[in-house]
Amino acid sequence: MLLEFRFGNYKSFRDETILDMRATNVTENIDWIMRDGELKVLRKAIIMGANASGKSNVIEAFRFMKMLVSPKVVAVESESGFNNIPIFLFDEKYVNSPSIFEVTYINQVLGDKKIYRYGFSMVSGRVEEEWLYEQAPDSKKSKVLFIRSKDENKSKYSSLGKEAESTLKDIDPQGNTLVSLSGNIKSDTVLKGVWKWFESISFINYGNPEENVLIERTIPRELYLDSRYREKVVKFLSSFDPAIKALDVEEDDSDPRIPPENRSCQIFSIHMGEDGKKYRIPFRWESAGTQKMFALYFAAEEALRRGSLLIIDELDSKLHPLLWRGVMLSFSNPSTNLNGAQLICTMHDPWVLNMQMARRDEIWFTEKNFDESSVLYSLVQFRTKSGKKIRKDEDFMKSYLMGKYGAIPDLARFDFGMDNIEAE
């Protein structure tokens, strides 16, 4: 369960930026929030803004952090570290300033109720500092589990255990985080707990056509092996595309050297014609929206079942509003989201800006300043020029489209260069 994501000096975000998933005291839709003692947490966050304002950069910063803690990254890291960190380039002093990434979370995936705060800073592709703190849910004090610094006098590994401490001291991490090196430690340490939490997070980028093309390579094997699971998927698809009556899945077993879990599948949808006959067509021939909802089913179902975090860039791309509305409300509703799953998404459709779809503290905006730096702020944080808060009975969509909250395109500069062309 994510409580907070903090980052800075990454792409268009020059300054330290916070996406806070802790619920505020707004009074709308109070049954949507998750409670654990005094802790109140949001089930979703929606990020809106103009094109090129930085929406996707928030998602990419989180995705970049996940990559840096994965044990898989050790194999691809170069000798000189990660020199390709996309930092803020519009101010020379930030070229050699640290990029910061930090998450505060509860590791529900492992059934852990403790609050962890993990982060690191990097300069020129090398980890300058890395830290992990632990806090009991009924305590306001946190305990240092480890601190790593380029100044070894400030480093502390003792809370990780003797084996981990001795192993880590013998490793030259270069550009890697210690969490990504936890595979070198045989004992089960809190470092492994960190990357297991990150591994549970799913990212989908619907603004990237390549990710949509790979649908048939990323489906779970249950669709091929379990007929009841396949029926659930068909029921989901037929709820918005009644023409689909069934699915056929064929596994490519032509090469026995490829293990079953790595084999590709070809999917066919079964339609019922007016003549009463069944017709079998390749699923890739279905509409882009149907393919998108098909791919989204597996990620959303897994997140809701496991109580994990799902992050989607451009959720509303190629989807009817009623479809993305259904997905979003599945996360909001405690009767369908029993395990505390969370959804973070970016989108453009202003129809989401109403109390039936979102609390004020779930709505976030990105805007780019004249110095090319992006800022992230929530509707509940926003203040009018007179310093007033936004009331819950305000027409959020109308106010947003009128530019009251910012984060919209500047149409005054919208120009196709037609002003100097004479009419024929």
Res 108 pLDDT > 80: no
Q: Which residue shows structure tokens 């519009």?
A: 90
Residue 172 has pLDDT above 60, yes or no: no
Per-residue pLDDT at 413: 61
Give the span between the Cα atoms of 47 and 59, in whole angstroms. 10
Q: Give the Cα separation of 204 and 299 in Å (integer).
A: 8
Residue 32 scores a pLDDT above 80: yes
Report d(CA 190, CA 134) in Å as an integer: 10
CA–CA separation, 313 vs 317, rounded Å?
9
For residues 275-287, average pLDDT: 87
Element (H, E) at 272: strand 265-272
Token digits for 144? 């240092």
- pLDDT of 66 higher than 90: yes
Cβ partners under 8 Å of residue 321, min gap 6: 349, 351
CA-CA distance, 43 to 195, in Å (whole number)?
22
Better-scored residue on pLDDT, 140 or 13: 13
- The stretch 166-175 carries a mean pLDDT of 62
- Which are the contacts of 186, defined by CB distance < 8 A and separation ≥ 6? 163
- Calculate what percentage of the chain has a pLDDT beyond 90: 40
What's the average model confidence in pLDDT over 164-181? 70
Q: What was the pLDDT predicted at 422? A: 57
Q: How many residues make up the chain in this entry?
A: 424
Segment among 79-93, 112-126, 286-300 with least mean pLDDT: 79-93
Which of 390, 385, 319 has its CA nearest to residue 358?
390
Nearest partner of 50 among 414, 343, 418, judged by Cα = 414
Half-sphere exposure (Cβ direction) of 205: Cα atoms closer than 13 Å:
13
Q: Is the pLDDT of residue 217 over 60?
A: no
Q: Which DSSP helix (H) or strand (E) runs through 323?
A: helix 321-332
Q: Tens digits of per-residue pLDDT, 327-336?
A: 999 999 999 9
Task: Tell me the domain boundaries of the chain.
Answer: 1-201+309-412, 206-307
Task: Give the per-residue pLDDT at 74.
Answer: 47
- Mapped onto helix, strand or coil, the DSSP state of residue 339 is coil
pLDDT value, residue 55: 94
CB 34 within 8 A of CB 333: no
Which range, 76-80, 120-124, 320-324, 356-360, is most confident?
356-360
Q: How confident is the model at residue 7 (pLDDT cuts 50, 70, 90)?
A: very high
By mean pLDDT, which of 74-83, 139-148, 208-217 is the weakest?
Answer: 74-83
DSSP three-state, residue 307: coil
Q: Distance of alpha carbon 77 from its chain centroid, rounded? A: 23
DSSP 38: T
Compute, in degrees rounded to 10, the torsion defined by CA atoms 347, 348, 354, 359: 30
Would you state the CATH architecture of domain 1-201+309-412? 3-Layer(aba) Sandwich (3.40)
For 237-256, the pLDDT digits (tens) are 888 888 899 998 887 777 77
pLDDT at 353 over 90: yes
Pairing of strands 363-368, 44-49: parallel
Distance between CA 348 and CA 36 in Å, rounded?
A: 32
Distance between CA atoms of residues 17 and 13, nearest Å: 7
Q: Which residue has the higher pLDDT, 122 or 210?
A: 122
More confident residue, 167 or 7: 7
Q: SS3 for 20?
A: strand
Instruction: Please tell me the distance from the alpha carbon of residue 76 to that of residue 415, in angstroms, as a whole number.
Output: 44
pTM value is 0.88
- Name which residue leads in pLDDT, 385 or 203: 203
Residue type, 83: N
**Band (213; pLDDT cuts 50, 70, 90):** very low
pLDDT above 70: residue 84: no
Distance CA 285, CA 247 (A): 13
Q: What is the mean pLDDT of the chain?
A: 83
What's phi and psi for 30, nearest 5 deg? -70, -20
What is the SS3 string spanning 381-408?
CCECCCCCECCCCCCHHHHHHCCCCCCC
CB 385 within 8 A of CB 335: no
Residue 152: pLDDT above 80?
no
Q: Is the pLDDT of residue 279 over 70?
A: yes
Is the pLDDT confidence value at 131 over 80? yes
Contact 222, 196 (CB under 8 A): no
Decide if pLDDT at 218 tops 70: no
Q: Quick check: 210 pLDDT over 80? A: no
pLDDT greater at residue 421 or residue 6:
6
For tokens 């500092």, the residue is 129
Q: Which helix (H) or strand (E) holds 234?
A: helix 227-238
**What is the pLDDT confidence band of residue 309, given thresholds at 50, 70 and 90?**
very high
3-state helix, strand, coil in the chain (%, to 5): 30, 25, 40
Q: pLDDT tens across 369-419, in order?
A: 988 999 999 999 998 888 888 998 889 999 999 999 988 887 666 566 655
Average pLDDT of span 272-298: 85
Query: Which pLDDT score, from 0 to 100, does residue 76 have?
Result: 40
